[in-house]
Amino acid sequence: MDEVPVEVRQLRYFVAVAEELHFGRAAERLAVAQPAVSQQVGRLERELGVRLLERTSRRVALTGDGERLLVEARSALAAVDRVRAVADELAAGHAGTLRLGTSPGLGERVRRGVARMRAHTPELSLVLTDGSVQDHCSALRAGALDVALVRGPIRVRGLHAVELWRDRLHVVLPADHPDADQDVVPISALDDLALRLPERSTDPALHDAVLVACRAAGFVPRLGRPVRSIEDALVEIGLGERTATVVLGCAGSAAGVVARPLDPPVEVPGHLLLARAGGPECLQALVTAFGD
């Protein structure tokens, strides 16, 4: 389903009308002409395909759909205002707090990005929040986060995603495996091993990328016990189990195992996720800091 191109201006106009219940007063509050308010609210209704307001010559009232959207619109505008405030602080070089949502395995990228930002804004403080992609999306919409770093394909309404990097997946297999001395390991080699992956709820991007690649190669992998600790899994693989796991990059090492990139390459994209309509100065500062 195509993303609905909702504009921040439309949400602001709708919220003003919903709170004033009068197009004229809403226009005065927004310092714009009344026809512009009517036009933008009508456009919002057409693009969403729902009736938000009941209009008569005497009154304006919210519909049930309008009441529900009002709650989300207020949250979205709060998030936009917060991103703009951060953009102003970053552009002006003033102190501020950046609330950043993170994902497992991104510690080095976060450290590098924060160091880059503090090189220009030494007083910048940081609040890190770990969580799933769904958690971060909800927090961004509610204004509880400024930005988030997440992995995997992203398509979420009302938020803006910028791809910053791609992680190539490596297979970790026993050092005595026939393909262990190769520079790359064909993905078909996974067909004769029990494949151990993190539970999907823990790392859906990696989990899905591996299974899709295996199916594209013509087989469904035999899944072993889920990986809950990569260190323990590497030790077990190195002790001679006919198992393998897949990691982002070359993460982890242990005796008796080797890590090799898969062939054909399997990659997981990494994204900067933020509320739509953030200022260009803020966006460029974040892309420069956290990108490759």
Structure-token pair, residue 41:
């609210």
- The model's pLDDT over 220-278, given as tens digits with 9 standing for 90+, comes to 999 999 988 888 888 888 887 789 999 887 665 678 898 999 999 999 999 999 876 55
Per the prediction, the chain carries an average pLDDT of 85
Does residue 148 carry a pLDDT above 90?
Answer: yes
- What gap in Å lies between CA 254 and CA 234, rounded to an integer? 6
pTM: 0.61
Given a contact cutoff of 8 angstroms between Cβ atoms, the answer to whether 102 and 128 are in contact is yes
User: Which residues are 130's β-sheet partners?
Assistant: 102
DSSP letter at 201 equals T
- What gap in Å lies between CA 224 and CA 220, rounded to an integer? 13
- The model's pLDDT over 61-88, given as tens digits with 9 standing for 90+, comes to 999 998 999 988 888 887 777 666 666 6
CA distances from 222 to 7, 132, 176, 190, 237 (A): 47, 26, 20, 9, 15
- The model's pLDDT over 167-218, given as tens digits with 9 standing for 90+, comes to 999 999 998 889 988 999 999 999 989 999 988 888 888 899 999 999 999 9
Domains, in order of start, for the chain: 8-62 (1.10.10.10), 77-164+269-290 (3.40.190.10), 165-267 (3.40.190.290)
